[in-house]
Amino acid sequence: MSEDESYMPIYAWRRTKLDTQDVPTDNDWLGFDGDREIGRVRKELNGPMQGFWQWSGSGGRTRNRLLPHSGYEPESQEAMRRVENYYHALMARNGMKGSKQ
């Protein structure tokens, strides 16, 4: 994430570590609201979306899901914004709130 990106994420973001063998990098992040995973952003390193950041929202166990729950953004922090906005909308749809709403 570069310093010139303007959005400041409001939830905690940690480098993704899939298992004990995995080495976390700056290209893959998980977002959390406390213990609840709210989504993931990761940089595409190859293929037609190379250089873009894929975002995917989760939000834990909720009955009513929302679409779209994933997409691409040119900047990492914009992808984080998309995850956080998705999370807030998902919580609202299920009569709940995130801790930062």
Residues 16-27 as b or e (16 or more Cβ within 10 Å = b): eeeeeeeeeeee
pLDDT for residue 4 is more than 60: no
Confidence of residue 51 (pLDDT cuts 50, 70, 90): very high
Cβ(82)–Cβ(57) under 8 Å? yes
Contacts of 14 (CB under 8 A, 6+ apart): 24, 29, 30, 32
Q: Domain limits at 17?
A: 12-93
pLDDT for residue 14 is more than 60: yes
In sequence order, what are the beta bridge partners of 72?
Answer: 54
Q: What is the rounded average pLDDT of the residues 56-64? A: 90
In a domain, 7, yes or no: no
Q: Cis check for the bond before 68: say yes or no (omega within 30 of 0).
A: yes
Q: What is the rounded average pLDDT of the residues 50-56? A: 98
In a domain, 1, yes or no: no
pLDDT for the residue 5: 55
In a domain, 89, yes or no: yes
Domains: count for the chain: 1
In a domain, 41, yes or no: yes
In a domain, 99, yes or no: no
In a domain, 5, yes or no: no
